[in-house]
Every structure is written in structure tokens, then in C-alpha cells.
Amino acid sequence: RVILLGVDDGYVDPAAEAALHGALKSMPAVVGVARKEAVIEQFRKQSAQSVTAMTQWSKRITRRSRTPP
């Protein structure tokens, strides 16, 4: 089960965020800890990279199809 808690959600006091992160990471039962803001930022970066890659691929394919044999 994954639970994302963010400072902007009001669940975590911004002043206590670092301490909470450290405490959770030290617990053996907790597999991973990530800030919600960091997860969203990573998603946006990967999405932008995917869009850029697909746009470049599409341009190459379009150029090839217009080139006479």
C-alpha cells in the first residue's frame, strides 16, 4: 500500500517534514518514503521527456515519408 502525504495537503507540518521523513526511513516495515511534491515533479519531467521523444520521432517519420524513393 502506498500513501503519499504532502505538505500542501495539510497532513504534514512543514517544520516537521524532515524529521518525519527521517523517522519513516528508519523503520524496517517502511519500504520507501517519497515526498508527494517530488513524485509529482518526477512525473512531470518524465511526461515532458516522453512528449519530446514522441514529437521528435514523429517528425523523423514524417520527413522520411515525404522523401521520394
Provide the whole-model pTM: 0.55
Q: What's the average model confidence in pLDDT over 45-69?
A: 85
| Residue carrying the nine cell digits 514529437 | 55
* CB-based contacts of 30, cutoff 8 Å, min separation 6: 24
pLDDT in tens, 7-45: 666 677 778 878 887 888 888 877 777 777 888 899 999
Provide the pLDDT for residue 15: 81
Identify the pLDDT of residue 52.
Answer: 93
* Burial 22-54, CB ≥16 within 10 A → b, else e: eeeeeeeeeeeeeebeeeeeeeeeeeeeeeeee
**pLDDT of 69:** 60
- Please give the Cα distance from 58 to 64 (Å, whole number): 10
